[in-house]
Amino acid sequence: MTIILALVGAYEPQISTECISQAYRCLQKIYSGDVIVVAVGNRTEHRKDYLSIKVKGREITNFIHSNSSYTSTEKYYNQFQIWTRSIFSILLKLKRRFEQIYSIKASSTSTLIIGLTSVDISPSNQYHFSYGQTDAENGLAIVSGYRIYKRGDTNNRLVKVLLHEYGHLMKLTHCECSCVMSIVSSLSELDERPLKFCSSCINQLLQNNESVSPKNLLIPSPGSE
């Protein structure tokens, strides 16, 4: 199984290159398979994949620009909130393309894709926003740095949300323990969430997945090493 860390659209400055490096190292540490980082939507040849993006019920043509410069798109991005299902449709195309190129049998677990974006996201009109969401059926997840970035250092927060969505991809449900799988509804709760899996979630991970590195599931905070 392969995990693809996909940078969706113009991801800076809400998601810095240091954040991406820490997220990559974190996944490498707990997962013994391949972890690949790819940029999605920053090249002209990818534009045809982004012609139908749902923005809170409205269809926006070419919303995710091929221009990699955040400065030119910052004002445009901040005007809208993207439905996560639209981003999932993009990530699913990437997944199918990857499986086709490497002759991998299509399934929810053969390839997992975790997208990182600076765009504000929401599952539907019923929700104000979301830090991250998972489509476990298709092996997809998306993490947004938009609201995480607004109050200071994003590094811990981004990795916490990423690991939470990774846990869902690995068949974990929400946890009531002091655990990265606990539910949060505010930045203060996210800051209090530990950057580790509890013993119960670790046991479930080991039962469900052969590619998990058990000795590395208790992850130190970024910068502590």
pLDDT score, position 217 = 61
- Report angle CA 208, 28, 217 to the nearest 5 degrees: 50
Cα dihedral 27, 66, 125, 93, rounded to 10, equals: -60
> Left, alpha or beta for 69 (phi > 0: left; psi -120 to 50: alpha)?
beta
What pLDDT sits at residue 207?
A: 84
| Percentage of residues of the chain with pLDDT beyond 90 | 22
pLDDT tens, 102-114? 777 766 567 899 9
**Cβ–Cβ under 8 Å, residues 40 and 8:** yes
- Decide if pLDDT at 150 tops 80: no
Residue 73, pLDDT above cutoff 60: no
* 57 vs 160: which has the higher pLDDT: 160
Per-residue pLDDT tens for 4-38?
998 887 666 678 788 888 888 888 888 877 888 88
pTM: 0.78
The mean pLDDT of the chain is 75
Q: Which fold has domain 2-216?
A: Collagenase (Catalytic Domain) (3.40.390)
Domain extent listing, the chain: 2-216
Q: What confidence score (pLDDT) does residue 68 get?
A: 35
